[in-house]
């Protein structure tokens, strides 16, 4: 029997089976990735000892190893996880709502806008929220603003073609990253470490990670994910077309607003503490879509898990490959993401005409 002649019940059951399998494998992979990445670093700590520390059984283990795990590696790895998750679900939402496989937070400039918002708070003391939330809230506000700007600039007769979306995104993104660099340089004039801070914002880095950052990003990730996931079926209908969505009882304007809001929320949180980490939000949704299909009801959870795994692994590479010298994680993601982006661009042009 040929593939397309399978009965409908079977096709549907196979799809659901694939979803369950994907979730189980991704969750398992996430735990394995966390465990392995906690082990490696300037000091190697074997998995059995790491497990003992993680389960609170520190008897007979040197104090410095306990500290490395609990205060340095674990918060950093978990922050990488939530940041990767945020960027990936944002990418999934943006690709869906713009019906455009090239969309992602950094490609269309939202991450750079969020970095500008964060820098305003850090450098000039501009705040809209109290304490630890000050930076992510300004990052979120500017992520929203940038999204709106790119959307308005890229629109041609009500549609958002790839070329104008990318051009608007690149221009707006470049403008905001220039402002970020300028601010950092002016603020730190003459003092040492200025360029490091500029590079931090341009390439993204997890080297300043701490526990409070992890909790704050998680506090944005959870509601962001719930909102996006709740509207995943509506997003499916939107991908078929706005008139189709209306016919299926979906309000297209409302769905668009919710998707953009959710994407800006999680992008703002991700960028606030780690700068602009490029390509995560582009690659991960694509890989997940290739593996399990385009249905956003599975794509959001799968991107969340896949994004976490991806950034945990790439950040571990970034901090160990040239140890003790640390690379910005953005270098690793861009080295992988650049070629992948070109591959998508080529393949799409050959496969379909936009």
Considering the rule CB under 8 A, would residue 101 count as an interface residue with other proteins?
A: yes
Rounded-to-integer distance, Cα 5 and Cα 310, Å: 36
Q: Which of 249, 324, 325, 350 binds other proteins (CB under 8 A)?
A: 249
> The tokens of 292 are what?
């399990």
Considering only CA atoms, which of 25, 18, 92, 23 is closest in space to residue 296? Answer: 92
Q: Which of 236, 303, 314, 333 binds other proteins (CB under 8 A)?
A: 236
Rounded-to-integer distance, Cα 29 and Cα 339, Å: 25
Considering the rule CB under 8 A, would residue 247 count as an interface residue with other proteins?
A: yes
Q: Which stretch binds other proteins (CB under 8 A): 27-35, 144-152, 246-254, 276-284?
A: 246-254
Which of 177/232 has CB closer to other proteins?
232
Residue for token pair 């003459």: 190
Smallest gap from Cβ 5 to other proteins, in A, equals: 6
Spell out the alpha helix ranges (H) of the chain.
8-39, 47-54, 63-67, 74-97, 110-124, 134-154, 162-187, 194-203, 211-230, 232-240, 242-247, 252-274, 280-292, 296-320, 329-351
Considering the rule CB under 8 A, would residue 164 count as an interface residue with other proteins?
A: no
Smallest gap from Cβ 15 to other proteins, in A, equals: 8
> The tokens of 152 are what?
């308005």
Is the CB of residue 114 less than 8 Å from the CB of residue 176?
A: no
Q: Which of 179, 211, 233, 344 binds other proteins (CB under 8 A)?
A: 233
Q: Say if residue 2 is exposed, middle or buried (CB neighbours under 10 Å; 0-12, 13-18, 19+).
A: exposed
Considering the rule CB under 8 A, would residue 108 count as an interface residue with other proteins?
A: no
Which of 137/165 has CB closer to other proteins?
165
Q: Which of 156, 230, 321, 342 binds other proteins (CB under 8 A)?
A: 230
Considering the rule CB under 8 A, would residue 11 count as an interface residue with other proteins?
A: yes
Is the CB of residue 203 less than 8 Å from the CB of residue 331?
A: yes
Considering the rule CB under 8 A, would residue 213 count as an interface residue with other proteins?
A: no
Considering the rule CB under 8 A, would residue 4 count as an interface residue with other proteins?
A: yes
Q: How far is CA 216 from CA 42, 269, 319, in A?
A: 28, 8, 23
Q: Which of 160, 295, 336, 344 binds other proteins (CB under 8 A)?
A: 295
Q: Which stretch binds other proteins (CB under 8 A): 49-57, 92-100, 149-157, 165-173?
A: 92-100
Considering the rule CB under 8 A, would residue 191 count as an interface residue with other proteins?
A: no
Which of 11/185 has CB closer to other proteins?
11
Kindly state the number of chain residues that form the binding site for other proteins, as judged by CB under 8 A. 35
Q: Which of 224, 289, 302, 327 binds other proteins (CB under 8 A)?
A: 289
Rounded-to-integer distance, Cα 316 and Cα 238, Å: 37
Is the CB of residue 285 less than 8 Å from the CB of residue 300?
A: no
Smallest gap from Cβ 59 to other proteins, in A, equals: 45
Considering the rule CB under 8 A, would residue 169 count as an interface residue with other proteins?
A: no
Is the CB of residue 299 less than 8 Å from the CB of residue 290?
A: no
How many other CB atoms are there within 10 angstroms of residue 217's CB atom?
Answer: 27
Which residues would be at the binding site for other proteins (CB under 8 A)?
3-6, 8-9, 11-12, 15, 95-96, 99-101, 230-231, 233, 236-237, 239-241, 243-244, 246-251, 289, 293-295, 352
């Amino acid at each position: 029997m040929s593939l397309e002649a399978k009965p409908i019940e079977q096709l549907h059951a196979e799809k659901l089976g694939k979803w369950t399998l994907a979730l189980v494998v991704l969750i398992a992979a996430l735990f394995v990735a966390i465990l392995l990445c906690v082990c490696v670093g300037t000091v190697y700590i074997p998995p059995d000892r790491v497990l003992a520390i993680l389960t609170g059984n520190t008897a007979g283990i040197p104090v410095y190893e306990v500290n490395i795990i609990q205060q340095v590696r674990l918060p950093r790895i978990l922050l990488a996880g939530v940041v990767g998750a945020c960027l990936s679900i944002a990418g999934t939402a943006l690709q869906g709502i713009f019906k455009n496989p090239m969309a992602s937070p950094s490609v269309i400039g939202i991450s750079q806008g969020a970095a500008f918002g964060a820098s305003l708070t850090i450098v000039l003391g501009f705040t809209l929220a109290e304490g630890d939330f000050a930076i992510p809230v300004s990052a979120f506000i500017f992520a929203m603003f940038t999204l709106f700007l790119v959307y308005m600039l890229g629109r041609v007769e009500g549609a958002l073609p790839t070329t104008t979306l990318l051009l608007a995104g690149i221009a707006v993104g470049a403008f905001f990253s220039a402002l970020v660099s300028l601010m950092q340089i002016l603020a730190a004039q003459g003092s040492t470490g200025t360029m490091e801070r500029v590079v931090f914002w341009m390439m993204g880095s997890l080297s300043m990670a701490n526990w409070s950052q992890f909790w704050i990003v998680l506090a944005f990730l959870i509601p962001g994910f719930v909102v996006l996931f709740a509207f995943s079926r509506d997003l499916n209908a939107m991908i078929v077309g706005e008139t189709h969505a209306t016919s299926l009882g979906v309000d297209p304007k409302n769905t668009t607003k919710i998707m953009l809001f959710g994407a800006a929320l999680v992008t703002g949180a991700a960028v606030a503490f780690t700068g602009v980490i490029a390509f995560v939000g582009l690659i991960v949704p694509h890989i997940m879509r290739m593996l399990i299909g385009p249905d956003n009801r599975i794509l959001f959870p799968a991107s969340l898990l896949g994004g976490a795994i991806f950034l945990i692994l790439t950040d571990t590479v970034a901090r160990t490959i040239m140890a003790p010298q640390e690379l910005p994680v953005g270098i690793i993601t861009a080295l992988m993401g650049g070629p992948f982006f070109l591959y998508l661009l080529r393949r799409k042009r050959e496969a379909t005409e936009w």
